[in-house]
Chains A and B, each alone.
Chain A
Amino acid sequence: MAKSDAPQVDISAAMVTDPATLADWLVIAPLVYCIAVGGFLLMVRKDTNLQPILAIPGLVLLVILDAALLAHVIMNGPVTMTMGRWLPPFGISFTVDILGALLCLTAGIAALAGGIYGAGDINDSGRRYGFYPFLFLMMGGVSGAFLTGDVFNLYVWFEVLLIASFGLLVLGSERGQIDGATKYAFLNLVATTFFLIATGYLYGIFGTLNMADIAEKAPEMTDRAPLITLVSLFVLAFAMKAAAFPLNFWLPASYHTPRVVVSALFAGLLTKVGVYALMRITLVLFPAERDVLGFAIALVAAATMIVGAVGALAQTDFRRLLGFLVISGIGIMLAGVALASQSGVTGTIFYAVHSMVVMTALYLACGLAARVAGGFSIQTSSGVYSSHVLLAAITLVLFFAVSGLPPFSGFWPKVILVKASLDVGAWWLAGAILLSGFLTTIAVGRVWLLAYWRPAGSTTPAGEVGVLDPFIDYLPLVMLTGLVVLVGIFPQQVLEISQIGSDQLINPVDYIRSVFPDGGGQ
């Protein structure tokens, strides 16, 4: 022990000597905050009225923290804080670059929307059995995944958000929920297990888990170690987490079963984490191997976006339709990963942000529509346009946004990705992106015609069913839709940030330097 008589050791050889400033603390702030608040909310879970009163301001604060972090990263480039003061790669480093911070912020916003909406959508028993604690802990997992710079730690956060999502998924214990949850749970367990296995191999090969460290060592290992196999295993794991075809089963099997707000949160948060991890691993850690697998990823991307859109066309239940749209969006993001060009990755980042916002909003809107139109089936529901024009208008905007029509947020990233594909002559990929947009337009167009424009028939007691609360119900929706429109008309900022982010990914010198200031691993 560091007693007086203890053998003196040279601390600086083992530990970071310069003090951690509050700015550094921003790196981990969102995570610590979420976990701590989650733990606290759990202690007071029995006070069901207190829950939202504490949680919603808490989420606002979270968004502020994320925004501060993003600003910090934009100004100073990637930031690192190594836990326990140990020198990287010995301690667990949290390293934040634009990608992480941006997604973190978007996730925070989606969570805020969900939190507000949940105040109306989740009943007492739902709160009592931990809607808000789950929400915060899931956000903890998501933030942790976005922020950490350590592969195994990434795995841990994956598990945190996964188990929290289980909790949210089964909240309510309805038949469909249980059934959906069963498939969701087992398949996702398999996925994370693949991830863990890959991590085990990774450690066996590199003897380290720090991403920056690996990124540095990867080049000289390339010809000695079975990295291509390893990376393809990683890709498999994350593609499954991201619900890429042909491993997308779990998503359409489960996303329509829980409370709408839960689906909204899932759509906003979960799959994107998979895409993020995929980008992190393939672009930063193993660019060389990614180049080898690029074409395969492109095929998967194309297949995923088409399958998603086609699946959406095949649905009668509004929510299941949305589930397939999530998948289609994943395909579009994968396209950028497959291209791995500066503009391609830009498109992916931008689209990820767009998709998180728009899909969350769509689910929320879908929930309200169901409330006023009598159910989720577009076979029976109708008359929303006449009874609730504001809701209809918002939904229409979201429909166009998700189909990638201008002037909404979905348009620009799609253009960028199409252009990027054409740049490398991947006309078929460009075609797939456009085609998926076309099919999506038809799919949502039909929903609009039937559920919104079609006059309320005898089947639906439209108007009478739901009274929509201007704050709890509309505010989150308006907030998100406002973002969709704003980003659609003034995409400059988001685009610029995405470009910087993509630069940081494709050429991660700053990332590595922020972990090893004086260059080189140990």
Chain B
Amino acid sequence: MNGFVAIIVAIMLIVGSAFTLIAALGLIRLPDVYTRMHAASKAGTLGSGVVLIALGIQSGDPGTLTRSLAGVAFFILTAPISAHLLAKASYAVGYRLSDLSVVDEMPSNARGEKSNT
């Protein structure tokens, strides 16, 4: 394995896992579920994605690489949706924003509204 690739891989590994760690940290530190979602859905996805691509590169075989890319694409596609669903659900059920929150323009009928699905 040539040095360049090795360096790339190493960097991606560190960066990716670092991002993941930060996201996890955000999970701990941020005040309410909505803010935490920001951390998870962004840093989390990106982190693991990077590491996955690193694996693809390191393998040096196009098939694996394409697969890892496809995988990442899939994450990027799903992450916002899950975040959205979770946010919508928690809001609908009535989990309130943290007290730090400044505005809430969500129509009142949305809060505590029981979705029929």
- Touching in the complex, A and B, CB below 8 A? no
